[in-house]
Chains A and B, each alone.
Chain A
Amino acid sequence: MLEIKNLHVAVDGKEILKGLSLTIEAGQVHAIMGPNGSGKSTLSYVLAGRDGYEITEGRILFRGEDLAAMKTEERAAKGIFLAMQYPVEIPGVTTLTFLKTALNAQRRARGESDLDAMSVLKLVRKKAAALKVSEEMLKRALNVGFSGGEKKRLEILQMELFEPKLAILDETDSGLDIDALKLVAEGVNAMRTPERAMLVITHYQRLLDYIVPDRIHVLARGRIVAEGGKELAHELEAKGYEHIVGKAA
């Protein structure tokens, strides 16, 4: 599904990722853990194709295609979804309008026909109830005045709506209380299928109690410094990043 080889990425001329390699197969959930400033968000942005994140060396293959050659919106239409750490507010654009616009843009890019407003609403309603996203929320402007939990739930709703091939969750647990965390995790777990890959980026082990990964990678100073199964998260929690990062250095 995703194959990253010796990836170097610079932002404003400063190298953030320094030779990162990572492979995720379809059906797997991988977690990236790491201290602040290790390059976790940079990795998520470069996968999504954000402006200003320059690949200086190495390459990324997504389902065998070179990701660098694809525009941001093409990647979305081809199945890359990034649940963002800080979902953005767009005043005056109702959430439902945004969902419809995005869904139809992706469909069009894939050569499928547009869905009308009623069909989109039906689709959204089906997913919304489980995530406790209310009708009233769908009528409000996108993320405007939403609580932290509401914003994250809406990100998961979008993930379910767009049915991506590769879902990247960037610090989805930040700002969530335990109930909201469970709700979000249930949503994510329901999306685990043999065809879909997920990359969960988090600072804390807590989220990984609910979304149990197949593999954990520890990122520090722009490189993967340790890898292991789900038990690695507990080791990190018990001994701290310094222990593992220090050992690798």
Chain B
Amino acid sequence: MSSAARETKKQVAEIGEKYKYGFVTDIEMERAAKGLSEDTVRYISAKKGEPDWMLEWRLGAFARWRQMREPDWARVHYPKIDYQDAYYYAAPKSTPQKQSLDEVDPKLLETYNKLGIPLHEQMALAGVAVDAVFDSVSVATTFKEKLNEAGVIFCPISEAIRTHPELVRKYLGSVVPVTDNFFATLNSAVFSDGSFVYIPKGVRCPMELSTYFRINASETGQFERTLIIADEGSYVSYLEGCTAPKRDENQLHAAVVELVALEGAEIKYSTVQNWYPGDENGTGGIYNFVTKRGDCRGDRSKISWTQVETGSAITWKYPSCILRGDDTVGEFYSIAIANNFQQADTGTKMIHLGKNTRSRIISKGISAGKAQNTYRGLVSVHPKAANARNYTQCDSLLIGGKCGAHTVPYIESRNPTARVEHEATTSKIAEDQLFYCLQRGIPQEEAVALIVNGFCKEVLQQLPMEFAVEAQKLVGISLEGSVG
């Protein structure tokens, strides 16, 4: 193992102590004025040096958003958000595009080091390219050359809007329409930055693509926009990981991720989400309202979502697959952990449109403390989706007696040849399991982590190696203090 790999492993190990991401980097910020108006939208667009068509797109979304109502069907409760009392654009002042890491503000790099994801080491580790988003502006993109050789485009979406307008115009909003839902429409109006990926025909992306998001500025909503296009016969695995500093004010986060898989293409999208969940009394924490959707547009394409959701005060997130092409495959593997006063309402939608489409849903929900954890999923088989198959397995694990687990599966089948299976279990960590571990010398918190990791195994196995270790640690950290 290289020294860089060792170093990273050591840092991952250090994460296993406590939530220690509660620090704020002191970098001068540049902000839009507080509140949301047409002027805010124009300001953001101007800051990004966007072409007119992009501004028009944003303004259209904003006009629409003003007529929309915040949804209230999820099993989450939070004080009303005042959308006029937040900043919609914040960028570290000194960071236009950088050509190399040497140009990056050392304080920023230090922040990443505290997070245990040093860019320098990341570069050496397992060939992961990192497009690091610090608040709203991408500050460092590595491995660009290697990707260039393969013809892969991996850059901030703000850059893609200028350099690849034909691709962005064709695909942006084609999976999640501007009018899709309250939070997605808000994102369409004010999104600041995010990642853009294009994999050309027949290309297998030579490395895992990885982005670390991080919210830093106080009272700044974060609105990433990610667009991934896998052209015919291509393959890409994309990793997204998140942590946020400790804050008292609630922070709104409304991201949109769109995936497009053309004929025979495969996209694997993995997330580890570890944003600040609020304290033991339910104060603070991130509000995470995310719209993620993949479109298996071409025949025989495949999209696979894997998520490990351990953070945020509120999680509202349903990564979905539209199985449009024939013989397409959609997968959703999820671990959602809610501790203390966290509320998670998450699941997926599998929309079977094409023939012989298959989907698989494995959801593992863990509730502890006074948390509420809901799986909400839709499997919809349309009339033309002959021989559609779905298998759903929803398992809930309860730790302690004050939390809740809820499973809300919706199944709509309009084709008689479809076969849809749903299995659900609810269990508790048994006292005899804990005693057995303790008797063998395993301390309580380690025992809980071990048992929960066992419960989540089928999902953890889906994660790329680089993430699996960190995810296992996170599972343990996020349940600390949940027993005894």
Binding site for B on A (CB under 8 A): 48-51, 71-73, 76-77, 81-82, 84, 86-93, 97-98, 101-103, 105-106, 109, 141, 158, 162
User: Do B441 and A106 touch across chains, with their CB atoms under 8 A apart?
Assistant: yes
Closest to B452 in A: A92
Q: How far is the CA of A103 from the CA of B430 in the complex (A)?
A: 22
* Given A51-B431, A101-B442, 14 other A-B residues pairs in contact with their CB atoms under 8 A: A48-B439, A73-B443, A76-B439, A88-B432, A92-B453, A92-B454, A92-B457, A92-B458, A93-B457, A97-B450, A98-B440, A102-B437, A105-B446, A162-B441
Q: How far is the CA of A106 from the CA of B255 in the complex (A)?
A: 45
Q: What residues of B have a CB within 8 angstroms of the CB of A98 in the complex?
A: 440, 450
A-B contact list, 9 entries, CB within 8 Å: A48-B439, A91-B455, A101-B450, A102-B440, A103-B441, A105-B440, A105-B443, A106-B440, A106-B441
**Cβ of B394 to closest chain A Cβ, rounded Å:** 16
B97 interface residue per 8 A CB criterion: no
Interface centre among A91, A141, A158 (most CB of B within 10 A): A91
Q: What residues of A have a CB within 8 angstroms of the CB of B446 in the complex?
A: 101, 105
**Contact residue among A72, A93, A109 (Cβ-Cβ distance under 8 Å from B435):** A72
B438 interface residue per 8 A CB criterion: yes
Interface centre among A48, A51, A71, A101 (most CB of B within 10 A): A101
Q: What residues of A have a CB within 8 angstroms of the CB of B458 in the complex?
A: 92
Interface centre among B432, B439, B456, B458 (most CB of A within 10 A): B439
Closest to A86 in B: B432
User: Do A90 and B440 touch across chains, with their CB atoms under 8 A apart?
Assistant: no
User: Do B440 and A158 touch across chains, with their CB atoms under 8 A apart?
Assistant: yes
Q: What residues of B have a CB within 8 angstroms of the CB of A93 in the complex?
A: 450-451, 453-454, 457
Q: How far is the CA of A48 from the CA of B444 in the complex (A)?
A: 15
B99 interface residue per 8 A CB criterion: no
Q: Classify chain B: how many residues form its interface, as a range.
A: 20 to 34
User: Do B438 and A90 touch across chains, with their CB atoms under 8 A apart?
Assistant: no
User: Do B456 and A76 touch across chains, with their CB atoms under 8 A apart?
Assistant: no
Q: How far is the CA of A86 from the CA of B431 in the complex (A)?
A: 13
Binding site for A on B (CB under 8 A): 430-433, 435-444, 446, 450-451, 453-458
Q: How far is the CA of A81 from the CA of B440 in the complex (A)?
A: 7
User: Do B450 and A90 touch across chains, with their CB atoms under 8 A apart?
Assistant: yes
User: Do B431 and A90 touch across chains, with their CB atoms under 8 A apart?
Assistant: no
Q: What residues of A have a CB within 8 angstroms of the CB of B441 in the complex?
A: 73, 76-77, 102-103, 105-106, 109, 162
Closest to A72 in B: B438
Q: What residues of B have a CB within 8 angstroms of the CB of A91 in the complex?
A: 454-455
User: Do B430 and A88 touch across chains, with their CB atoms under 8 A apart?
Assistant: yes
User: Do A105 and B442 touch across chains, with their CB atoms under 8 A apart?
Assistant: yes
A93-B451, A93-B454, A98-B450 as given contacts; A88 in contact with B433, CB under 8 Å: yes
**Cβ of B26 to closest chain A Cβ, rounded Å:** 37
Q: How far is the CA of A103 from the CA of B442 in the complex (A)?
A: 8
Q: What residues of B have a CB within 8 angstroms of the CB of A87 in the complex?
A: 436
Q: How far is the CA of A88 from the CA of B435 in the complex (A)?
A: 9
**Cβ of A169 to closest chain B Cβ, rounded Å:** 13
Q: What residues of A have a CB within 8 angstroms of the CB of B435 in the complex?
A: 48, 50-51, 72, 88
Q: How far is the CA of A93 from the CA of B446 in the complex (A)?
A: 13
Q: What residues of A have a CB within 8 angstroms of the CB of B438 in the complex?
A: 49, 71-73, 76
Interface centre among B432, B453, B458 (most CB of A within 10 A): B432
A98-B450, A101-B450, A141-B454 as given contacts; A90 in contact with B433, CB under 8 Å: yes
Q: How far is the CA of A77 from the CA of B456 in the complex (A)?
A: 28
**Cβ of B337 to closest chain A Cβ, rounded Å:** 15
Q: What residues of A have a CB within 8 angstroms of the CB of B443 in the complex?
A: 73, 105
Q: How far is the CA of A90 from the CA of B430 in the complex (A)?
A: 10
Q: What residues of A have a CB within 8 angstroms of the CB of B432 in the complex?
A: 86, 88
